[in-house]
Structure 1
Amino acid sequence: MSTRGSKATKTASTSDRLRKENVLAYVSVPRHPARTVKKVKPKTPAVVEEVEEMSSPIATRSRRASSAVPSVTKKSTLKDVLPKQPSTSRVSSEPAAALKSVRASSLVPRTSTRIRRATPAIVDMEPPKLAQYAEEYRDLKRKRSTLEASVASFTEEKERKDRELKRRRIALDKEEMDMKKQKKHLETMKADLAARAEQLREREMVVENREEASRRPSIDNSEAALKFLEECFSCSLCCDIMACPTVLASSCGHSFCAMCILKWYFARFHIECNSWHTAVECPLCRASVRTPNTGYIPRTLESRPMMINRMAEGALQSFVDMLLKPGSSEPAPGKGKGKKKAVIDLDDPALEWREGGSARRDWIERGQKGKAKLQEVLSVWEKLTPAGFTNFKRSLDA
């Protein structure tokens, strides 16, 4: 009786010791299968079953708790419980290979021996936070869509402006080329005009010299000056010195008094038909003088039949002014002692052309009247109607 109890006690102590050693050896096995494991002692069926219960869910552990340690009450020896000791060769590094060697024994049932790594369970977030995150995500998505649309719009606008700038640049380049050509043309015209202005200046100097020579004739006395006026500035119609010299628009260029040529010209105007029937000719050389079409309105300035001869008017005025002052015909000195007394020669023909003389007054009146009438008809010449021509003819008593 004591022997059997001592054997059972030895068997139990040996099983506990082996179980502890095997569990410690199993726990120290690394997770990575590629690495080698130190030599461990084979596990007993009780240890294997306990390891499986540790790696299995809680429900399985409670079910296998009763079979973790072999019952001592069974009549089995330590030789039957423990498997044969393996050789001291190198054990496989993988835990699955060690478990297969244990399952080969008839005492361990074939069960799943895969050891799973315990992972923490997913903790559900609070619903308000999830809703807040979802709303923020949607807002960010909307903002991203808005930004992408803005970027696309800005890109399109930039491309459009680039095209517009390119078109403007081309237009400006073309305009610049045109302006350069125009500038070159204007410079050429400017040089041409400068050359023409120089030529005109030379001609004006020649004309001024001639006018100066004509204004200062070599006249010794007033009689010779008056004779020069009568020969060069006499009107062919009134046979008097011209008042307001007026030249006809003809090829001859003869000049007459303004009032004389107006009366002569409008004397050929027919009141019945309000027109000129016959051709108008120069009183001196019979050169043709243009006549306007009374029914055509408006008329051009070139259709005017006469105009004031400015050059002849200036020369005539200078000679008349020479007659105004007693030039070489100075008054004769008085006889006897004392102051010299001026003696007026009543037989001097230039006496009437001096200040207050009758000839001078008549010449000034005729000139003013003729100039006024000529300016009156020429100012309305472009729009003068046939009735206007008739009224002007009657005002002249032509």
Structure 2
Amino acid sequence: MAEQIPVNDLRRHARVSEKEVSASVGRVLGSGRYVLGEECEFFEKEFAEFCGTAHCVGVANGTDAIELGLRALGAGPGGRVATVANAGPYTTTALTALGARPVFVDVDHETRLMDLAHLKQVLDEHVLDAVVVTHLYGLLHDMETVLDLANRAGVPVLEDCAQAHGARRDGRRAGSFGAAASFSFFPTKNLGALGDGGAVVTGSAEVAERVRRLRQYGWEPKYRVATAGGRNSRLDEVQAAVLRARLPLLDGWNRRRREIAARYSREIRGARVTCPPVYGEEFAAHLYVVVSDDREALRAHLARASILTDVHYPVADHRQAVPGRAGDRDVPVALPVTDALTASVLTLPCFPELTDEEVTRVISAVGAW
């Protein structure tokens, strides 16, 4: 039986930067400072520069980054926030913590990103605290048009960049467009830590200062609560040091991801499988997702060929059973494209250490279905 091809392989990925990461962890152990020390401070400066923003604030994880970023932009209890329902329940989880309600926007069938015509309709019909734009699967949205629509309505935009580290359009990177942006550094991300981690980047000193207070109980100064809604959400020194070690490698990893994605899009043949277009630097290729008219049959076929797959994501937010996840009950939820994609998307293996031979195996196996 052929050797199994995983969707992702963190063991291979770790070997690439093992020396640099080991040195960074050793540096933290020798420092005696494990939370909010110089590693976090240096990473925040370096990542802000990488993104092209003035400020970066490290937090405990990507979901906290969404929540605290939205709090800093003024979203709160009873408010409404426009978002998509096909990107996992992360934004809706953050909104539940805020006491705010999602107003779901459908997505475009080809890009799988927020449908701009529907966004305009939502902005025209509802009073919103914010818009969360998710760069799903690593594809940077048309932020010029998004911002034009949102600015006309006087609504701030938070970019959800959890899957788009380093994606770039017209010389600007994901995270540099909106009023603020959230990042996750979960180990599987394009820039991943050895555990949970996240960040909020922004061009606003005021927003950054609010997030700094919110990540540490709302203190200003220490032990004195000056900002409501604070929590313990800090990026620790070990994770910050690991991220510093890996950040210089990110652009190279993204290039390899795009190479793999481009081969898939050009070479996979089959009437029952639809591939995304070949994209340029606007695509960080975090995930390579196809659409199939019989996803489970395709998954079974690939499994027999020792090729693993995944589904991102199998249940849309407006279809979740848990209270608080279904969105604004006062607004009818009709998301036909979201529902169609939820039933048909399938993720193929795509990570920087995937070999050319493995890519060929995937292409051949899909084509043989």
Shorter-chain TM-score tier? under 0.3
More strand by share: 2
More helix by share: 1
Does 1 or 2 have the higher relative contact order (CA < 8 Å, sep 6+)? 2
Normalised to the residue count of structure 1, the TM-score between the two structures is 0.24
- Between structure 1 and structure 2, the one with the greater Rg is 1
